[in-house]
Chain A
């Protein structure tokens, strides 16, 4: 039976692993490669690696870091950050990365998404979408320019789905990095809308939280702080559910 995936989301700033809160850098965590080695040893389902600097500074992806990262991973890795051209996508894929996440470019020019899917296939391209609540409505958030997009979220979603994309990665801006728990109303809304796999990220604070999220039927649940911090004082400790804990979270009965 297909299991939902539990996916650590790692944020890179230049060559450092960092953690953010509501999309602002909060803390330096450590060396990304060491962290990845730990996750690889724990045989995690999948990893999402996001370079939060590349898009902002309009630079190329950090190919050297990505190459090191990919050579240590024996599970799927999605890379996102600064992807603006098909050539960059090709280069990153050749380094050993499975999937490419496109965020900023999706909001700037959705045709790029269509081109990327056409060139590399729907299984390879993910659209990453940030969602923020404004006046009781959920809106798309452009984190580079720090602005909320005026267009209706569902119209935007229809355009994205039309591109033939294989997967969607949603981040809840209001809860990201806060450990305040997932927004289940939003998870439910998104899961009911799409026929393609979706991964939800933002606020996850416990293994119980992961379980409640996957019970809505989403394909993957992602978190950063939950797998990086430990204890009341947020000490840095890399963790991941054990096989037994995974069975409880993923609840045999709910598997497809």
Chain B
């Protein structure tokens, strides 16, 4: 059973819909204790870093997530804000992140007015053959992005994915049992379906 963490942020229905489409059962979970019954976890979110961390802390998710993800190595996929929360901190807020990966979250800044913020729309993602999320796919991979912040200075992970918006930025990573993507697989048609399938079968 795949658990989709409901910590009050983001649209979780779409993830469940896409998982259902690829034949996977999932449960949107509001009680942290229920996570212990699940084989894989999805932590998604859209919203502010501080609100995200505060909700995780106040609703009792942090200890359970640390136990399962860090101690028990349960596979987890972070999506958008979910991935950013896995870093050390964000320029957006004052809260510390989960610190599961050595990276920080920063805001896009452009002098050129042609680059609008948020980064919103379909963009390309490049990856290398070490990636499990992109196992057995062709090199053209497009996903839907909607974010104003991105992760950077990422160290010590197994592989990272890259996207270009003005400059190149890290649009995802894999580190042992932990994966994070800046984009929204649940809103990216067949590209997203394949990625979620790989998360289920290759992690």
Contacts and interface: CB of A to CB of B under 8 A. Distances in A.
Interface of A: 1-5, 40, 43, 45-46, 70-71, 73-76, 93-98, 120-124, 166-167, 194-198, 217, 219-220, 256
Contacts of B146: 76, 98, 123, 166
A123 B121 CA distance: 11
B113 A94 contact: no
B48 A256 contact: no
10 contacts: A2-B119, A3-B123, A43-B190, A70-B17, A71-B17, A73-B17, A74-B192, A76-B187, A95-B13, A97-B11
B188 A196 contact: no
B166 A256 contact: yes
A1 B164 contact: yes
Interface string B4-15: 000001011110
Main secondary structure of the interface of B (DSSP, over half): mixed
Contacts, number: 107
Contacts of A166: 118, 120, 146, 148
Contacts of B18: 74
B106 to A, nearest CB: 16
B113 to A, nearest CB: 6
Given A95-B13, A122-B118, A197-B120, 6 more contacts: A1-B123, A4-B121, A74-B188, A96-B16, A98-B184, A166-B118
Given A2-B165, A94-B11, A256-B165, A219 B188 contact: no
A197 B116 contact: yes
Majority SS of interface residues in chain A?
loop
B13 A217 contact: no
Nearest to B122: A3
Contacts of B117: 195-196
B90 to A, nearest CB: 13
Contacts of B13: 70-71, 94-96
Interface residues of B, number: 40
Interface in B1-35: 9, 11-14, 16-18, 21
A75 B116 contact: no
A217 B115 CA distance: 9
Nearest to A98: B11
A120 to B, nearest CB: 7
A77 to B, nearest CB: 8
A83 B144 CA distance: 25
Contacts of A43: 189-190
A2 B121 contact: yes
Interface in B145-203: 145-148, 164-166, 184, 186-190, 192-193
A120 B121 CA distance: 19
Q: Counting chain B CB atoms within 10 Å of each CB, which of A121, A124, A195 scores highest?
A: A121
Contacts of A76: 144, 146, 184, 187
B15 to A, nearest CB: 9
Contacts of A195: 113, 116-117
B135 interface: no
Given A70-B17, A74-B189, A123-B148, A5 B11 contact: no
A98 B15 CA distance: 11
A98 B120 CA distance: 12
A249 to B, nearest CB: 13
Nearest to A67: B13
B115 A256 contact: yes
